Chain A
């Protein structure tokens, strides 16, 4: 018997959007500083529905879930600490890269020579870039939420095309949580969301994208396109517009990049995976 919560659409879109909205509304009312946790709530809702609470066997996918949980706690501590920007960024990158090598270790251990270095360097560059680029957006919540949604959707659909629905669903959960935050920000406007949002979004999408390459068949070019996403914050003259227009423009620009990444994946993967 298949229940409502077993449906992929519910697991990775409806449920995380609802829990993200509920969490965000409560936090904006009682602890607005942490309202960005609505994004992680969406991701964790999907993780719970598709994976349950089990961590055995400790696969790369389960490491991603654990890493995002731990990283969110670390980001909350960092948000509450008076760290200099360079120290904060350094700590975030070290945490993110540690998570990447923890996730990828079992696969990288089987790679030799130039292949090992290409996968390792690719992961380091992609994840460090996302962490630093999204960290730079943490006070531009409209751009950050738009980036999180579009990055999540792009990572999700391309992962599914690359033969892993599981990774795709987790990325969709992050996108839905980001969508909840994006909707809430239409009401609460420029409320700063901090590293609990930026770091969680960057790390989850970074690890899921690299997971798609290492564990499934996601072409390496796709994260290269998705990496352009944070550049939307440089859209000219946007900051002079009313918030809802600004957020919509950011979302539109991010959506173009997402569409490009999906199109690239579609072209490269000659016969995309589907429900079999």
Chain B
């Protein structure tokens, strides 16, 4: 009976092609970042320096999914006191909402690699659909010897949101409502 079940599973897998490959987000090379207009004068930039997540990719079936969890308290704009303000209830409210998440709902392919990701971005507990256009993608064995040829996928993706949609309304309209998001992501197979 046990052998029959194992045989059935293996047969199903071989008929359907293969399992999607699982990748783990590389926190050292994954930096979600944003830009926002500052009082109409200039564009400010910031990044989140701690994130984790997974990528499922099946190039044969052209299917993929991605989940990223960002540590909201890791926000950095290069100026500590402004970062403290961004962590406060005025903006990201990290004490109450320590994480920001992005979960894909649909991935469209451009050739063999993903070209567009539709998903739900959750900030301060509010989830809204956000589409990310992938501007660069590459999957290949890692060239560094210490990585022992592990498969790596890297993506640059861009999207846009209105922060007010997520209930982050402090300083409107003086501080911009429109934010451009950029995700630079690397994920290592296995």
Contacts from A to B (Cβ < 8 Å): 1-2, 6, 50-52, 54, 56-57, 59-61, 106-107, 110, 163-167, 211, 214-217, 271, 273-274, 276
Contact = CB atoms under 8 A, between A and B. Distances in A.
A54 B173 CA distance: 16
A1 B174 CA distance: 8
A216 B81 contact: no
B22 interface: no
Given A57-B124, A276-B79, A164 B88 contact: yes
A56 B87 CA distance: 18
B167 A2 contact: no
26 contacts: A6-B173, A6-B174, A50-B170, A52-B169, A57-B124, A59-B89, A59-B96, A59-B167, A60-B89, A60-B93, A61-B89, A110-B98, A163-B81, A163-B84, A164-B88, A165-B85, A166-B89, A215-B88, A217-B88, A271-B81, A273-B84, A273-B85, A276-B79, A276-B81, A276-B82, A276-B85
B149 interface: no
Nearest to A164: B88
Contact of A167 (B89, B166, B172): B89
Interface string B49-62: 00000000000000
Contacts of B82: 276
B88 A163 contact: yes
B169 A273 contact: no
Residue of A110, A167, A216 with highest tally of chain B CB at under 10 A: A216
Interface string B152-190: 000000000000001101101110000000000000000
Interface in B94-111: 95-98
Contacts of B125: 57
A47 B85 CA distance: 19
B96 A107 contact: yes
